[in-house]
């Protein structure tokens, strides 16, 4: 079955999956399409995730982590089945062992809306042990994660020439543009075995 063709105003969820110490960890992102070439489909978008988002994401992660898949689907109406592809072998770029999979760095996203509905988070797994001191990110670590923030609050023109606006998506599927993003200094410890799953 052909991958669904995408159009302006479609809302997409994208997930980068990886393996850390034999456990699955993942981070989730949302975009709203501003413009898209004719015939551009969900499979093309996953290809663009693998060549655009994934290499930049891996720059923040320990070499203990390896990418296992990139996944995307349309969450706006009509919702679609997802497309998942296995990327070329992509390890994390930081030559340091990672903290356990239950640990994550937190990147906060903000819209112009007030209160909790105007905030969101991206959990970054595979935190290098060299990145923290007593549960707080070092200044050097904050700088590394800050280099990734444009993926959370800046319009992305994909390699396939689609223009994507980062958004927050609420429970009923409405999207709000993200205005800015910030690295949180305090590490998050999760009880879930899989960081980012179900959050």
Domain edges within the chain: 11-189
DSSP label at residue 73: E
Give the separation between CA 111 and CA 63, rounded to whole angstroms. 33
Model confidence, pTM: 0.91
Q: Are 135 and 186 in contact (CB under 8 A)?
A: yes
Confidence at 172, pLDDT banded by 50, 70, 90 = low
Convert the pLDDT of each residue in 14-54 to its tens digit.
Answer: 999 999 999 999 999 999 999 999 999 999 999 999 999 99
Per residue in 106-116, is it b (16+ CB within 10 Å) or e — as a string? Answer: bbebbbeeeee
Mean pLDDT, the chain, whole residue set: 92
pLDDT greater than 50 at residue 3: yes
Specify the pLDDT at position 118. 81
User: Which residue(s) pair with 157 in the sheet?
Assistant: 163
pLDDT greater than 90 at residue 1: no
Number of H helices, E strands in the chain: 4, 13
């Amino acid at each position: 079955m052909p991958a669904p063709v995408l159009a302006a105003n479609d809302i997409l969820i994208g997930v980068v999956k990886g393996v850390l110490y034999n456990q699955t960890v993942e981070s989730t992102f949302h975009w709203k399409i501003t413009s898209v070439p004719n015939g551009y489909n969900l499979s093309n978008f996953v290809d663009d995730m693998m060549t655009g988002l994934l290499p930049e994401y891996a720059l923040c992660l320990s070499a203990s982590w390896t990418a296992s898949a990139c996944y995307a689907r349309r969450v706006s109406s009509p919702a679609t089945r997802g497309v998942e592809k296995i990327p070329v072998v992509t390890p994390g770029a930081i030559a340091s062992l990672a903290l356990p999979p239950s640990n994550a760095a937190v990147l906060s996203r903000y819209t112009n809306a007030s209160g909790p509905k105007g905030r969101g988070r991206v959990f970054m797994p595979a935190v290098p042990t060299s990145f923290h001191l007593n549960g707080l990110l070092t200044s050097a670590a904050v700088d590394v994660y800050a280099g990734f923030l444009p993926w959370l609050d800046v319009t992305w023109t994909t390699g396939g020439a689609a223009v994507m606006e980062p958004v927050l998506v609420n429970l009923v599927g409405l999207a709000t543009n993200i205005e800015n993003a910030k690295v949180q200094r305090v590490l998050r410890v999760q009880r879930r075995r899989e960081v980012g799953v179900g959050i």
